[in-house]
Chain A
Amino acid sequence: MRRANDRRRLTSVSDDEQLLDRLRAGEEEAFVALVSRHHDSMLRLARTFVSSNAIAEEVVQDTWLGVLRGIDRFGGRSSLRTWLLAILVNRARSAGERERRSVPVGDVEPRFDVAGAWITPPAHWAEDVEERVSAAALRDLLQGALAELPPRQLAVVTLRDIEGLGSGEVCEVLAISEGNQRVLLHRGRNHLRESLEARLRP
């Protein structure tokens, strides 16, 4: 968790602003640094809207070109990241409604009896999951579970949990309400948890 926080600090707003100033001054290294900082979020988010990696990469590149062309229009009302991701979402949406096979995810909610008590209580693995399953296997499992999520759940889980954005920023980027965002996040996280549970239940 400490590493995650460090990473978040690396994408701090003031660093983005400094890079933006250097980019406006024509420093190409500043451009590469900005791209590098936001590439993962942008590519993953684009991928939730379009049907192939190649198209997602085009959308990301197209977004950066738009940024270069409109760099003087960025007024700093929102953070650079919010601005970038919002542009990306617009472009990704127009790049085509996603035709990914939407496998119905079925009932991912945990099961309860009529009194609301657990029918099958959760197994015990929260503490030692990383000792019981290899990092590579966990990655594969989570990638597989993410691929099963409906696009909107995937977009929210990607921004909140993979990229570590706060709920306000995610709502702004995706133009959804806080309540809606939380429902999507709740369902998405539950599906990922269920996938881990299925692997770890003795």
Chain B
Amino acid sequence: MIARLLRRVGGDLSCQQAVALVTDYLDGALSSTEEARFERHLAGCPHCTEYLAQIRATIGLTHGLRSDELTPQMRDHFLELYRRWSADEL
């Protein structure tokens, strides 16, 4: 009870609390006080440090799924769409 109270007024975060803040932290959405508490927890906690690194790795890998190439077929398809639209067929 006292521990929870202390946490609320700026004491140490538990791992569970730190993990819950990771997305806000990465988005820069924490207040400077919250951010400082989060980083203080991380500095003393290899597990949460690994967890944060894993989330970052996951984001990087997920971004790797993106493809910005149209297949030649899709290219032709959209060119055709454009031509039909400009010829007033659509």
Binding site for B on A (CB under 8 A): 1, 4, 7, 10, 26, 28, 31-32, 35-37, 39-40, 61, 64-65, 68-69, 110, 112, 115-118, 121-122, 124-127, 129-130, 135, 138-139, 142-143, 146, 157, 161-164, 167, 178, 182, 185-186, 189-190, 192-193, 196-197
Among the listed B14, B55, B79, which residue makes an inter-chain contact with A117, where contact means beta carbons less than 8 Å apart?
A: B14
CB neighbours (8 Å) of A121 from chain B are 47, 50
Q: Are B15 and A157 in contact (CB under 8 A)?
A: no
Binding site for A on B (CB under 8 A): 14-17, 19-20, 22-24, 27, 29, 47, 50-51, 53-70, 74-75, 78-79, 81-83, 85-86, 90
Give Cα A67–Cα B58 distance, bound, in whole angstroms: 34
Q: Nearest Cβ in chain A — how far from B30, in angstroms? A: 11
Q: Nearest Cβ in chain B — how far from A191, in angstroms? A: 10
Q: Are B70 and A39 in contact (CB under 8 A)?
A: yes
CB neighbours (8 Å) of A130 from chain B are 61
Give Cα A122–Cα B52 distance, bound, in whole angstroms: 10
Report the nearest A residue to B83, measured CB to CB: A28
How many contacts between A and B, using CB within 8 angstroms? 126
Overall SS of chain A's interface: helix
Among the listed A7, A116, A126, A178, which residue makes an inter-chain contact with B53, where contact means beta carbons less than 8 Å apart?
A: A126
Q: Nearest Cβ in chain A — how far from B42, in angstroms? A: 13
- A–B pairs, 12, beta carbons within 8 Å: A35-B74, A36-B69, A37-B68, A64-B81, A112-B14, A117-B14, A118-B47, A127-B57, A162-B66, A189-B59, A193-B55, A196-B61
